[in-house]
């Protein structure tokens, strides 16, 4: 049975969805004002893996991840560049989506944009005001009263007094608030900013209101999983939970949070100057190597990203690809659904993943199967090799670890060159054969001559 670590209860607990066999997930998505960094990638990969595993295990999963397309940072960038906020948001939302796809992160089933749900946010704020959980400050907007929910601070595990001591570092300072912890549900209009009309005046929604309104609107009360990075526990997720509680809505049944990313031993941050963009890494390394590095660390732990770690993961990816090529070269057909599974390996994989999605153990199972398949090929045991490889490839797919490098589109020209080289070798025209090989090498193509023919792959 699947057990997950619930951040609210601070322990591993059995996962029992609201509806058996159906899982509803909401994961906080990007604020789209800049290019994605590695921290964005880790969060996306973590919850993509959780989603994929739940589907592989037989569940019907509804995965929702929002886009914050109205925010101070978006407004500031639009003003600096002389553009509109929708133009800025559209550009960076597209970049984010493309770079996540390069990591084989599946698109969400729904990707609500905050600006599409403003009417629902206004209605939700009205409900909070009616329940005396929020109050209007003329010229400032609407604030949530953190004294309204009974247990504010439960998710982060701190009392109101403890949180108040550092309120100015995580919560906006405003002397008009009743408590320094109170947070903006609605921000009054400022000149030049996008605004919407409300009963308490024009303005725009606050970030914490956006996610609670969208998640409840799409997934309903008591949805199963709410996810995000552990930097969101406070104030964002705490404030979401507080609003839902004050409005008497059952909120997420389980809270899951992934750890942060260290770059060469230091926490990733702009202030440290190691705010590595995802594009920087993807230009130098196979995206699957970055995914594998992430899989090799449990999602709740901080993880290290370094060139050495990515180089090692690259070699791991190459081992899987090499097995696939070796099977082709040996004439062994592998169909993931066409061979008997290695039942013991599947059981060990499931055991690891059912223990709060322990991907390091699951990855070990996959590479153990790769070794077994290679040993079987050494022994000319095609059936064992095919079964082990088929199981390895299936389980890799359950983690989103694709077998075989990404193609560069139409490879017919490469196939034609390989065929021409094969013909030249058959005609003993070795000069032409070598010329074609050199051309292929210059294009990053590795050619392997096997007993059953010539195969190729990209470096």
419-454 tens-digit pLDDT: 778 777 777 777 777 787 777 776 667 777 665 556
How does pLDDT run across 262-276, given as a tens digit for each residue? 876 655 554 445 557
How does pLDDT run across 235-248, given as a tens digit for each residue? 999 999 999 999 99
pLDDT at 66: 98
Q: Taking the domain 3-262, which CATH number applies?
A: 3.40.50.620
Rounded to an integer, what distance in angstroms lies between the CA atom of residue 182 and that of residue 192? Answer: 26
How does pLDDT run across 128-168, given as a tens digit for each residue? 999 999 999 999 999 999 999 989 999 999 998 888 876 66
**Does the pLDDT value for residue 409 go beyond 50?**
no
pLDDT at 128: 98
Question: Residue 324's pLDDT band (boundaries 50, 70, 90)?
Answer: very high
Residues above pLDDT 90, as percent of the chain: 73
Cα–Cα nearest to 459, from 406, 417, 416? 406
Question: Residue 169's pLDDT band (boundaries 50, 70, 90)?
Answer: low
Question: Residue 172's pLDDT band (boundaries 50, 70, 90)?
Answer: confident
pLDDT at 266: 59
| Average pLDDT rounded to a whole number, residues 333-359 | 89
- Is 82 buried (19+), middle (13-18) or exposed (0-12) by CB count in 10 A? exposed
Q: Tell which CATH classification among 3.10.560.10, 1.20.120.640, 3.40.190.10, 3.10.20.600 matches the domain 319-398.
A: 1.20.120.640
Cα–Cα nearest to 256, from 445, 18, 9, 29? 9
pLDDT at 385: 95
| Average pLDDT rounded to a whole number, residues 335-354 | 88
DSSP string, 180-225: TT-EEEEEE--TTS--B--TT-SEEE-HHHHHHHHHHHHH-TT-SE
pLDDT at 189: 92
- DSSP letter, residue 233: I
Q: What is the mean pLDDT of the chain?
A: 90
Question: Residue 211's pLDDT band (boundaries 50, 70, 90)?
Answer: very high
pLDDT at 389: 96
pLDDT at 158: 93
pLDDT at 259: 97
Domain ranges of the chain: 3-262, 319-398, 412-458
Residue 395 burial (CB count, 10 A):
26
How does pLDDT run across 68-111, given as a tens digit for each residue? 999 999 999 999 999 999 999 999 999 999 999 999 999 999 99
8 A C-beta contact, residue 178 and residue 133: no
Question: Residue 9's pLDDT band (boundaries 50, 70, 90)?
Answer: very high
Residues above pLDDT 70, as percent of the chain: 90
């Amino acid at each position: 049975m699947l057990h997950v670590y619930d951040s609210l209860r601070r322990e591993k607990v059995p996962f029992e969805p609201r509806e058996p066999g159906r899982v509803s997930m909401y994961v906080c998505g990007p604020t789209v004002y800049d290019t994605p960094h590695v921290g964005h990638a880790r969060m996306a990969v973590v919850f993509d893996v959780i989603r994929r595993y739940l589907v592989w295990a037989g569940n019907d999963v509804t995965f929702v991840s929002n886009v914050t397309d109205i925010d101070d940072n978006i407004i500031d960038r639009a003003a600096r560049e002389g553009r509109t906020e929708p133009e800025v948001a559209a550009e960076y939302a597209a970049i984010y989506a493309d770079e996540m796809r390069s990591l084989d992160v599946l698109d969400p089933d729904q990707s609500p944009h905050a600006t599409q749900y403003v009417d629902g946010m206004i209605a939700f704020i009205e409900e909070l005001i009616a329940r005396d959980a929020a109050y209007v400050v003329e010229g400032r907007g609407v604030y949530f009263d953190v004294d309204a929910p009974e247990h504010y601070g439960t998710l982060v595990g701190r009392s109101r007094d403890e949180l108040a001591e550092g309120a100015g570092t995580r919560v906006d300072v405003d002397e008009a608030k009743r408590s320094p912890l109170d947070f903006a549900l609605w921000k009054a209009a400022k000149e030049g900013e996008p605004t919407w009309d409300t009963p308490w005046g024009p303005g725009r929604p606050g970030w914490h209101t956006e996610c609670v309104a969208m998640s409840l609107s799409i997934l309903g009360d008591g949805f199963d999983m709410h996810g995000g990075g552990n930097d969101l526990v406070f104030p964002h997720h705490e404030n979401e939970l507080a609003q839902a509680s004050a409005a008497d809505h059952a909120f997420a049944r389980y809270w899951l949070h992934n750890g942060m990313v260290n770059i060469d031993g230091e926490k990733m941050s702009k202030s440290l100057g190691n705010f590595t963009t995802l594009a920087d890494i993807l230009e130098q390394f196979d995206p699957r190597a970055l995914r594998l590095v992430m899989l090799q660390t449990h999602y709740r732990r901080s993880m290290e990203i370094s060139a050495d770690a990515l180089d090692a993961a690259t070699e791991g990816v190459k081992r899987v690809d090499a097995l696939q090529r070796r099977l082709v070269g040996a004439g062994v057909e592998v169909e993931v659904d066409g061979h008997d599974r290695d039942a013991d390996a599947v059981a060990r994989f499931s055991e690891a993943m059912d223990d709060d999605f322990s991907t390091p153990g699951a990855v070990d199972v996959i590479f153990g199967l790769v070794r077994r398949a290679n040993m079987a090929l050494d022994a000319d045991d095609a059936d064992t090799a095919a079964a082990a490889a088929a199981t390895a490839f299936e389980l890799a797919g359950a983690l989103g670890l694709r077998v075989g490098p990404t193609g560069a589109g139409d490879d017919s020209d490469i196939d034609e060159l390989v065929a021409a080289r094969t013909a030249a070798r058959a005609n003993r025209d070795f000069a032409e054969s070598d010329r074609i090989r050199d051309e292929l090498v210059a294009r990053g193509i590795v050619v392997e001559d096997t007993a059953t023919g010539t195969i190729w792959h990209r470096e």
